[in-house]
Structure 1
Amino acid sequence: MGIPIDIVQGTSGSDHTASWQEAHNITALETMTPGKLADYTHPDAAEHYPAERTKWAAAHRARIPYKMHPSIRGDYAVLEVADKDTGLLADTMAVDKALALLKGRQGKAKPFFLAVGLVRPHFPFVATEGSLEPYDARRMAYPDFPKDDHADMPSGSKGRMMDLKKSAVREVRRGYYGAVTYMDEQFGRLMSGLDHLKLRGNTIVVFVSDHGYLLGEHQMWKKGVLWNEAIHVPLIISAPGKKQDARTHHIVELIDLYPTLAELAGLPPEPKAQGQSLVPLLNNPVAQLDRQDAMTTVSRGHGLRSGKWAFMWYTASKRFKTEGFMLYDMEKDPKQFTNLADDPKFAGVKAKLHRRLRTRVESMQ
């Protein structure tokens, strides 16, 4: 399995749990990774991608340059690409490569693992004429927030700020919707290919993103902070014999994917891997897991979702001299406008969540 470069460059914990590639590629002798997930540029990448266990001798040989897009200036630009040039876009190339690999799987009994990395939607927003056409910038919703929105925010919580005219904000948001639509079309091509090749009935499919996006909410953009828009991600799992068109409201984490895929594939669990299998939820969306919270970590601090509460702990650093706390009732305040962290009425809730979050952070050391 390809590993995004920011994960490769991270620090392994003391248990150093084996990656999916190292643990299971003996079973799945063909492991393939077209698209963004195969962006291998780290000097130690080879140790995470054992050449003797894979069809491809080295990850870089399979790499599609995910940063390949028409030359563009400005981090917040929207680029419209002619429909006839769709084949030049990285996500189109990634799906083309994936479909070619899947075609080679027809009639083969051996298992395979295919990770397809789609870069859109991501700044800059690149989309085709057809995917942008349904969206009128003049009708795009403008993010609402109170005038004093920043008054109760610690400094570390403030993401990338951008002072744009309302018309420009709407145009950028239009670009986001167009990029999502383009990506959705490519994912649809991949699913149609599975159906056409008669592989869907025996294939586990996971659709997931690594982060969300701020699109002007709180006057902020992009990611790297703990606001709900920046950390909430889509997660869709399709597996043979499991419920279809069902939705669960249970709190889960992305680390749950490792044990989930292992159980679905009938593979032995990795003893030191964190996370819980989500198979009970795939069988019954209202099942209860042994988890009451979900943690998120960014460079500035850590966040915890527990029940109706969203708690954020921004740690002190050279840039932000003092730590800061934020507490939101997501049932009454889903847009996170009223920080309750300094309200004496919620001191007990804050203390409890802080203790729990600190315990979880320390467990990663």
Structure 2
Amino acid sequence: MKRQLNRFSVGISLLLPLLLVSASGAADRLNVLMIAVDDLRPELACYGAEHIHSPNIDRLASEGVRFDRAYCQVAVCGASRASLLSGCRPETTGCWNFRTPLRSKMPDVLTLPQHFKQSGYETAFLGKIYHSASDDASSWTLNVNRWAPAQAGKGKSYVLAENAKPTERKPKGDRRPSDKAGPSNENGGDVPDEMYNDGHNADRAVRVIEQFADHEKPFFFAVGFLKPHLPFNAPAKYWDLYDRSSIEIPARTSVVDGVPYASSNWGELKNYPDIPRDVDYLDDEKTRELIHGYRAAVSYTDAQVGKLLAALDRTGQRDNTIVILWGDHGWYVGDFGEWCKHTNYEIATRVPLIVSAPGVAPDRSSESMAEFVDIFPTLCQMTGLDVPEHCQGKSLTPILADPSAVVKPAAFSQYLKNKPGAGQMRGTSIRTDRFRYTEWRSVKTGELDAIELIDFDTDPGATVNVASDPKYASFLPGLAKWCAESHSGT
């Protein structure tokens, strides 16, 4: 095997680039395997959720640093990924939803994969990295379809014949273009993993990793898994890991008191034919079914992550590869009666983030604040690349060296919501060690519409808005100042 090194013997500080120099004097940089998981909230065994079966992601966490306070910039997949891959906040990218490609707003921005490509890396992706596979097409040097072509009859969305057929959901007058053909979840029975999309892509990604083993150039390989995104479809063996009757129903009535923009509106869930549209809450039976499906989908994706890690081990590349795993935003699974994401609150914005790499001491966690815009400069510094001037995050390498280190006092998330009769409102949320402070302002006028303040010291469930409580008045000016600074991209 080529370009190998001992994983925990790198004698160079992570405060400097993790860069080795070969005997010939040529830069011999670390590989990067970036694993993106759609709709994965930090409900994993390694994050303390012992009811979740996630042994492979847990293993990855045990080999590196788990970030316990990591946040996305926008709780919707397209915009979140645009910020991560550009290193810019949404007010800079102009991407606020899943429909807007990054390149349509920032055609000339140097993206994360493009920077690695221009620095001599082989760059490739498989699965969902950007929301659209065609976005940022010039940033990839390899077409994995040539290395690992898709196979007919595999990689399906639904495997049961009755679910793969179009379903007439509503009378013609009540149909929507966004209506889904199949149900919100599927227990696929005794089928192999590769019958579904993510399992098929995991097998293809393994073949790509195997071929990278014989290349002299370092690689940047981004692999994106769809599950646990809706519909919650997985083979039976992953459903069998959980007892549905033991699933607890989240409290539906503990909604955030006095917060005008708290509802997620259930996102796409109500577009599925088995989900009623005209209800405020799902009944217990359907709630348990969906939670069961979400957990099965998490365990299914965890197994696919395990295949990639095993391939790195088997080919001898694990010892010179940075592995970074992130979920693109949080997700409601019945919390407060809500589903999906589409808010500016803790459950929607908090994400799993795990980094394992040569020179990074294993089995550590950090409560330091981290954001998705920090990933770009972090990977640059870890591989010896210059950090582009446009990046608006900060490198997390000090935290990788010392999990108690602090690189920023707060994390910022934003979201747009429509207010009937008033137009579009932009919510800017600051998460500090103690508070989540949010301002909602008119996009058109900039006028302040609402303030929310959650005190996690006294209200860990985030159910009460204390912004109007006089005892918190002294905290508001400083939080408001930070909020204003976030608009400048700092």
Q: How does 1:181-196 map to 2 (within 5 A)?
A: 181-196=299-314
Greater relative contact order: 1 or 2 (C-alpha under 8 angstroms, separation 6 or more)?
A: 2
CA distance, structure 1, for counterparts of residue 124 and residue 103 of structure 2: 25
Q: How does 1:296-335 map to 2 (within 5 A)?
A: 296-300=413-417, 301-316=427-442, 323-335=449-461
CA distance, structure 1, for counterparts of residue 132 and residue 155 of structure 2: 13
In 2, are the aligned partners of 1:214 and 1:230 still within 8 Å (CA)? Answer: yes
1:160 aligned onto 2:265: yes
User: Which of 248, 255, 261 matches 1:141?
Assistant: 248
Alpha-carbon distance change, 252 to 62 in structure 1, aligned in 2, over 3 angstroms: farther
CA distance, structure 2, for counterparts of residue 344 and residue 294 of structure 1: 25
CA distance, structure 2, for counterparts of residue 132 and residue 351 of structure 1: 49
Alpha-carbon distance change, 67 to 224 in structure 1, aligned in 2, over 3 angstroms: farther
CA distance, structure 1, for counterparts of residue 441 and residue 231 of structure 2: 30
Q: What is the DSSP-based 3-state SS (H/G/I as helix, E as strand, rest coil) of the residue aligned with 2:398?
A: helix
In 2, are the aligned partners of 1:214 and 1:223 still within 8 Å (CA)? Answer: yes
Q: What is the DSSP-based 3-state SS (H/G/I as helix, E as strand, rest coil) of the residue aligned with 1:115?
A: strand
Superimposed CA distance per residue, residues 253-285 of structure 1 (whole angstroms, 9 cap, x where no aligned partner): 011111111111111221221111111111111
1:69 aligned onto 2:157: yes
Structure 1 residue 85 displacement after superposition: 4.0
The two structures have a TM-score, normalised by structure 1, of: 0.86
| Identity between Structure 1 and Structure 2 (%) | 26
CA distance, structure 2, for counterparts of residue 314 and residue 332 of structure 1: 23
Alpha-carbon distance change, 83 to 204 in structure 1, aligned in 2, over 3 angstroms: farther
CA distance, structure 1, for counterparts of residue 78 and residue 111 of structure 2: 14
- 1:50 is matched with 138
The two structures have a TM-score, normalised by structure 2, of: 0.65
CA distance, structure 2, for counterparts of residue 39 and residue 63 of structure 1: 20
In 2, are the aligned partners of 1:76 and 1:124 still within 8 Å (CA)? Answer: yes
Q: How does 1:22-33 map to 2 (within 5 A)?
A: 22-33=114-125
In 1, are the aligned partners of 2:413 and 2:428 still within 8 Å (CA)? Answer: yes
Gaps of 5+ in 1: none
Gaps of 5+ in 2: 1-33, 37-76, 83-99, 168-179, 267-279, 418-426
Query: Counting strand residues as a fraction of each chain, which structure ranks higher?
Result: 2
CA distance, structure 1, for counterparts of residue 350 and residue 190 of structure 2: 31
Alpha-carbon distance change, 322 to 241 in structure 1, aligned in 2, over 3 angstroms: closer
- 2:290 is matched with 172
Query: Counting helix residues as a fraction of each chain, which structure ranks higher?
Result: 1
Q: Which amino acid aligns with 1:265?
A: T
Q: Which amino acid aligns with 1:157?
A: A
Superimposed CA distance per residue, residues 145-198 of structure 1 (whole angstroms, 9 cap, x where no aligned partner): 546x354121x2221254211121111111111110101011011111111111
CA distance, structure 2, for counterparts of residue 2 and residue 235 of structure 1: 10
Count of residues in Structure 1 that have an aligned counterpart in Structure 2: 353
Aligned CA-pair RMSD: 3.2
Structure 1 residue 347 displacement after superposition: 2.3
Structure 1 residue 293 displacement after superposition: 0.5
Structure 1 residue 50 displacement after superposition: 2.2
Q: How does 1:203-218 map to 2 (within 5 A)?
A: 203-218=321-336
Alpha-carbon distance change, 92 to 57 in structure 1, aligned in 2, over 3 angstroms: closer
User: Which of 478, 482, 487 matches 1:352?
Assistant: 478
Q: How does 1:264-279 map to 2 (within 5 A)?
A: 264-279=382-397
Alpha-carbon distance change, 333 to 199 in structure 1, aligned in 2, over 3 angstroms: same
Alpha-carbon distance change, 120 to 144 in structure 1, aligned in 2, over 3 angstroms: same
Q: What is the DSSP-based 3-state SS (H/G/I as helix, E as strand, rest coil) of the residue aligned with 2:325?
A: strand
Q: What is the DSSP-based 3-state SS (H/G/I as helix, E as strand, rest coil) of the residue aligned with 2:468?
A: coil
